[in-house]
Chain A
Amino acid sequence: MTAADTGAGPRTAIAGVGRWLAGPIPISIVLALLIGACFMLVAGVDPLSGYAAMLQGSFGSGAGLANTIARAIPIIGIGIAIAIAFRAGVLNLGTEGQAGLGAVAGGVVALTVPGPAILVIPLAIVAAVAAGAAWGLIAALLQNLLGVPVLLSTLLLNYPARYFSSWLIRFKLDDPDSDLVASRPLPESGQLSLLVPKDSAFAETLRGVFGPTGPVTAVLTGVNWSLVILIVVVAGAIFMNRRTRFGFESGLSGQNAEFVRYSGVQPGPLVLRTMALSGGLAGLFGLLLTIGAPSTRLIEGYFIQTNFAWTALLVTLLALYRPLGIVVAGLFFAAIMVGSDAMGRELGLSPQIAAVIQALVIILLAFRVALPRIRRRRAAAEAKETAR
């Protein structure tokens, strides 16, 4: 370290940004977009107009922005759930099952329990968290008692959860009046309303002040209260990681389990607590997805088709388990998904291009691609440093 490095002059700040831009994350994103462009060429679409449609669909309008934020909420929430586990060295690949069962358990409560929303919704949340946590705990117990790796058990547990939800919705909850294989819409008391209901007086004021399609109006009248829950969860995760004993122990445990065991932390209970927390959070966000306005039915296969759990996993890997990083990466990946849907509608392509680009970012990042010139220059600088 020299004086120039530690002094935070504007020059070094710019150099820092420059170095970050030449680093693995931006380069991986650019390369992934380039490879994505090749896929569009195969499909006979001009990549420039493809990406323009994507950008327009995700950020170009108020409705697009609201859509992106709504899509990002479950991704970020489940991402936090995965990160809590990964950070402790517990490879929870079962959030799809945990979230799916949380959605079903809480959804059934919201569908059947009478009473005012203020009672029904917390009850549904408790049921969802409990179901997700219980499904996660099975994997933790299997590892603690029998040594079955969490990586495998969580993954295999996804399938019974998936098929059970499917069966329950198709045969027990199906609404004969609907073309979808889905439950009837939730009663008002079981719905998580939009931040500002569209027909309220406040919505009218917003439309007056910010314009009927302005971004602020669109977001506030197009995103439901799960946004607030998400903000609480993200803040809670940051607090937990930095300030609590559990956060400290799990962070260390993920880095060096051996060391933590010698310093007196019991790995068994840590795995149990981690999986309960991780599964519970996944269950919570699974529920928010099904009871949150504007779509409030339990739909068969919804969770699998939307691919939230796996996108969340990629987001977590991209953000290296850091909560704020997950927020940024989650918004980015949600934008790719929403944009790909728009592109698919406009140009007749499969929206799966989103999964292609997202997975490529992670793969290229695992290759740790950086601009070679910069790396050489830095290596040369370091060599000069040591020679001195």
Chain B
Amino acid sequence: MNFLELFDQDLISSVLRALIPILLAALGGMIAERAGIFNIGLEGMLLVGTFAAVAASYFAQNWIVGVLAGMLAGMLFSLILGYGAVYRKGDPIVLAIAMNILAVGMTSFLLVAIFQVQGVFQDPAIDGIPVWRIPVLADIPWIGPLFALTPLGYLALLLVPLLWIVLFRTPVGLRLRGVGERPLAAATMGVDPQRYQLGAVLASGALAGLGGAQLALGNVVQFTENMSAGRGWIAVVAVMLARAHPVGVLGAALLFGFADAIGFRLQSFGLPQQLTDAGPYVVTLLVLVLMSKRFRRTREAALA
């Protein structure tokens, strides 16, 4: 196999597959960030979403139920962060760290409790999310894979411009940003900051839950213990890199998807899986380093 063969048409679809769960979670994190809540609980929300989606799809034998359950579970789970950080003034970092551990424990425990299996749950009764191929367009070389996605894939890509419009061109977006940047000023304008913040956290949970549904019912059709495997953390980095801008978030998620897809392909060059698995995290770190100028301000905040 020669090196150029790494870059073929299939690469585009593998990039998209890796990208979509992260993009959904990162867009969620972006909304919370805009409302002034640093959400590092995306990893846990994603994982809870995967489990709920698989369990619901198994019992209902219907992927739509699975997707809705994943979204709902992510949202309910994010209530911990929303209630704790907004109404009890708890530290969002402490809450989110505990939530991520809770998510791993809870899903592994329920896996054994409900399905009596450990590690991996796979069953023909789990209904996966179908791929909706748009005829003609999906056959175009190179950009074809963009038109052969799951419904959640289309949703994720459409949300990028949609959230841009909502954030920067609508009153709701204006108020949300106001709450995040100048909560007191927003309050004097008659906006209830707490309600907006809770809403933003719930929205981020719902989107991360959808990301989980895509991961467990779209990319594969199974649940594995701790299957989010750091993707939620990558989403957190994506939000920070992009400075909570939708297009930037897409760019950062794309980069991760690319690193993931290339890493997988490098295995056919004889590189052991353990080393290529580290690829996306190393690439994310390198990008953090390269884009470091953006963090000058964050550094001040982190030290304060």
Q: Does B121 contact A (CB under 8 A)?
A: no
Q: Taking CB as reference atom, which chain B residue is nearest A313?
A: B97
- The interface centre, meaning the residue of B101, B118, B278 with most chain A CB atoms within 10 A of its CB, is B101
A314 touches B101 (CB 8 A): yes
Residues of A with C-beta under 8 A to B83: 367
How many inter-chain contacts with C-beta < 8 Å in the A-B complex?
A: 154
Residues of A with C-beta under 8 A to B97: 93, 313-314, 317, 362
A353 touches B105 (CB 8 A): yes
Q: Does B264 contact A (CB under 8 A)?
A: no
9-residue interface stretch from B168-176, B195-203, B285-293: B285-293
B108 touches A352 (CB 8 A): yes
Q: Mark B222-239, 1 if CB is under 8 A from A, else 0.
A: 000000001001001100
Nearest chain B CB to A3 CB, angstrom units:
34
Within 8 A of A (CB), among B64-84: 80, 83-84
The number of chain B residues with a CB under 8 A from chain A is 51
Nearest chain B CB to A78 CB, angstrom units:
14
Q: Does A164 contact B (CB under 8 A)?
A: yes
Within 8 A of B (CB), among A121-175: 142-143, 146-153, 155-157, 159-160, 162-164, 166-167, 170-171
A366 touches B109 (CB 8 A): no
Known: A152-B240, A156-B285. A42 touches B102 (CB 8 A): no
Q: Which of A146, A167, A258, A350 contacts B112 (CB 8 A)?
A: A350
Residues of A with C-beta under 8 A to B304: 257-258
B105 touches A355 (CB 8 A): yes
Known: A352-B108, A355-B104, A359-B99. A43 touches B113 (CB 8 A): yes
Nearest chain B CB to A266 CB, angstrom units:
12
Nearest chain B CB to A343 CB, angstrom units:
11
Q: Does A358 contact B (CB under 8 A)?
A: yes
Q: Does A310 contact B (CB under 8 A)?
A: yes
Residues of B with C-beta under 8 A to A91: 93, 302
Q: Which of A149, A349, A356, A360 contacts B298 (CB 8 A)?
A: A149
Residues of B with C-beta under 8 A to A362: 94, 97-98
Nearest chain B CB to A365 CB, angstrom units:
8
9-residue interface stretch from B28-36, B247-255, B269-277: B269-277
Known: A156-B237, A350-B118. A163 touches B94 (CB 8 A): no
Residues of B with C-beta under 8 A to A360: 98, 102
Residues of A with C-beta under 8 A to B84: 363, 366-367
Known: A42-B110, A156-B233. A355 touches B285 (CB 8 A): no
Q: Kindly list 7 other residue pairs between chains A and B, CB separation below 8 angstroms, not including A148-B295, A352-B109, A366-B84.
A: A42-B114, A142-B289, A157-B281, A163-B274, A352-B106, A356-B105, A366-B88
Q: B: which residues have CB within 8 A of A?
A: 40, 80, 83-84, 88, 90-91, 93-95, 97-99, 101-102, 104-106, 108-114, 118, 230, 233, 236-237, 240, 272, 274-275, 277-278, 281-282, 284-285, 288-289, 292-293, 295-296, 298-299, 302-304
Q: Lowest 6 CB-CB distances: which A-B pairs, in order?
A: A355-B105, A43-B113, A146-B292, A147-B299, A366-B90, A359-B102
